Amino acid sequence: MFFANNAAELPDRDTVLSLSGFDFMRAILEGKIPSAPIAQTLGFQLHTVEDGSVTFRGTPAFDHMNPVGTIHGGWYATILDSAMACAIMTKVPKGSLYTTLELKLNIIRPIPEGMQVDCIGTTEHSGRSTGVSTGQVVGVSDQKLYATGSTTCIIMTP
């Protein structure tokens, strides 16, 4: 989730719990709440928020490559985890939180360095204690599918 010791950069737990998940995600999109620091590190940002769906837009760079010269699988995993889990967050009621329990991804083809992609997370199920979503990484310019994923999240009320 979005907790850290640096209160100047991230919302405190009470702020998160005071909003519905949808309102929390909209506040990030509108710049009222900062996004997760990992997004800046890995070159992606929240692009759209809808009820049950979130899109992150990103551009992997040289710094995100593995030693064999392709974009590291961790980049794909992080943007997919972000989009799919945040899609579930849009369904989480006020006073609750979520965290990832399971993450699966399938890399279909390599993303070229510097290519802009959208990662769309879509909620498939959101219940009292679990949420399930799927995700796709799609090239903005070519509309090709680069990766897919699925996740299960636990929904918790502290």
Q: Does any domain span residue 127?
A: yes
pLDDT at residue number 158:
85
Domain annotation covers residue 19? yes
Q: Does residue 1 lie within any of the structural domains?
A: no
What range does the domain containing 52 cover?
Answer: 13-156
Q: What's the domain count of the chain?
A: 1
Task: Please tell me the distance from the alpha carbon of residue 36 to that of residue 46, in angstroms, as a whole number.
Answer: 10
Residue 4 lies in a domain: no
Does residue 7 belong to any structural domain of this protein? no
- What is the DSSP secondary-structure string of the chain? ----S-TTTS--HHHHHTS-HHHHHHHHHTTSSPPPHHHHHHTEEEEEEETTEEEEEE---GGGB-TTSSB-HHHHHHHHHHHHHHHHHTTPPTT-EEEEEEEEEEE-SPPPTT--EEEEEEEEEE-SSEEEEEEEEEETTT--EEEEEEEEEEEE--
Q: What per-residue confidence (pLDDT) applies to 2? A: 41
Q: Which pLDDT value is given to residue 98? A: 94
Cβ count near 153 (within 10 Å): 28
Q: What tokens does 145 get?
A: 């599918």
Total Cβ atoms within 10 A of residue 63:
11
Question: Is residue 8, in this structure, part of any structural domain at all?
Answer: no
The one-digit pLDDT tens for each residue of the chain (158 residues) are 343 444 457 888 888 899 999 999 999 999 999 999 999 999 999 999 999 999 999 999 999 999 999 999 999 999 999 999 999 999 999 999 999 999 999 999 999 999 999 999 999 999 999 999 999 999 999 999 999 999 999 999 98
What pLDDT is stored for residue 5 in this prediction?
A: 42
The CATH number covering residue 99 comes to 3.10.129.10
Distance separating alpha carbons of residues 121 and 128, to the nearest angstrom: 20
Pairing of strands 44-50, 53-58: antiparallel
In a domain, residue 34? The reply is yes
**pTM for the predicted model, two decimal places:** 0.92
Residue 3 lies in a domain: no
